Amino acid sequence: MYALPEPGTLVRIAYYDGNPAYPYVDGVLSEGKAVVQVEPGEYLVQKDTDTWVRLKPDGEIEVQAAPGVVLRLKPDGTVELLGTAVVRVDAPRVELAGGGPPVARVGDPVQVGAAIGVIIGGSSKVFSG
């Protein structure tokens, strides 16, 4: 893949066969910002300091769209989704699975011992549309 650096970026220039008539960009410097740390075997695709994709040597994939807005896919099967405002799941059907306890929604019937009722309230952070 080949891309030109942004105008104003500091670059290192080299010359084909040492001939100053044939320059080429040999490296891009840090553009006045801190150089991002990348561990051995890691790949980083970066749009800017806040937007990037990391492919880690252990197989983890981490995507950041803005500070605190992150998706992590881990090799052990764990998926982490972090948001700074709202995490929205919008589909005709949303399934929560995994063998854990059942999930009840506002309006669902519940039974506790011999008593039967309806859930009338829930978390202030969870909504159903």
* pLDDT tens digits, one per residue of 59-94: 999 999 999 999 999 999 999 999 999 888 888 887
3-state secondary structure of 17: helix
Residue found by looking up tokens 């969870």 in the block:
126
Where does CATH 2.20.220 sit in the chain?
Answer: 37-89
Q: Strand runs (DSSP E) across 10-108, as ranges?
A: 11-15, 23-28, 43-48, 51-55, 61-66, 69-73, 79-82
pLDDT reported for residue 128: 63
Q: Does the pLDDT value for residue 33 go beyond 80?
A: no
pLDDT reported for residue 31: 62
Architecture of domain 37-89: Single Sheet (2.20)
Q: Does the pLDDT value for residue 1 go beyond 60?
A: no
pLDDT reported for residue 46: 86
